[in-house]
Amino acid sequence: MPWDGILGFLAGRAIPGVEMVQDGSYMRTASFRLADNQVCSGWLTVSHQEGRPWLALALSRSLAPALPQVRDGIRRLFDLDLDPAGPARTLEAMNACRPGLFVPGIRLPGCFTPFETATRAVLGQQVTVKAASTLAGRLVTLLGRPLAGTPEGLTHAFPEPLDLLALGESAQNQLGRLGIISARAQCILSIARGLHHGELSLTPQANPILEMDKLRAIRGIGGWTAQYIAMRTMGYADAFLDTDAGVKQALPGMSARELRRLSEAWRPWRSYAVMCLWNSL
């Protein structure tokens, strides 16, 4: 996806206090627990110059000890390990549905940290994108690590799974006061528990089919959410959200079954096809 496209996608889903897009750059906070259990926190900026085949990364000095983790997070978030020729060879056929539907250079917006993106996905169930961002911002204010010396608008690091689990029996009530309904609070806590105890692995190295099965076993997580989380956190290239409102809007008049049949020609790059469909709206 061209830089402006992926930047627009992230801007529309930015978590207040944690992320923002400003002057054509992506800015965010970051916090890492190092090998010695020390916490390293700060902020970073990612920018792109038109015509240049790379991204420029600037970060606060406080994040220097976590430079490898920062680099890996940015590579995941902007899908930098992709060879765009791979999806292009298959997805150019999308133009048979509608001229210009395939986006040359398409990339899959990933995640900086899996728990953050998975939480944001659960909060986005059956509410608007803006409402989900508002709920995520409230969660950050309650449990996120406050940061000093950051650019205006960046105030906290996103909570770790343990921060939610530390709430104990009061977790559901405290999240409820933020406007997070009980079912979604339980989903988020289950994901936090799974990640903290190593029972759930939302990384590119894990098997996405197995991890999606684990996600669907959590009450309140269905096929759409499981596939979306796998697509964003694991870089799963072949997710297809056949029940998604945007996908249906991009290809009107088709049932979910017809969409699935059509998408078979787009394997193994159907996640990228979904991004093309969303981009067409």
| 23 given a catalytic annotation | no
d(CA 84, CA 104): 8
Q: What is the 3-state secondary structure (H, E, C) of the chain?
A: CCHHHHHHHHHHCCCCECEEEECCEEEEEEEEECCCCCEEEEEEEEECCCCCCCCEEEECHHHHHHHHHHHHHHHHHCCCCCCCHHHHHHHHHHHHCCCCCCCCCCCCCCCCCHHHHHHHHHHCCCCCHHHHHHHHHHHHHHHCEECCCCCCCECEECCCHHHHHCCHHHHHHHHHHCCCCHHHHHHHHHHHHHHHCCCCCCCCCCCHHHHHHHHHCCCCCCHHHHHHHHHHHCCCCCCCCCCCHHHHHHCCCCCHHHHHHHHHHHCCCHHHHHHHHHHCC
Are 16 and 32 a contacting pair, CB within 8 Å? Answer: no
The residue annotated as part of the active site, out of 79, 238, 242, 244, is 244
Within 10 Å of residue 126's Cβ, how many Cβ atoms? Answer: 8
Upper half-sphere CA count for residue 41 (Cβ side, 13 Å):
18
Are 140 and 159 a contacting pair, CB within 8 Å? Answer: yes
Active-site amino acid positions: 244
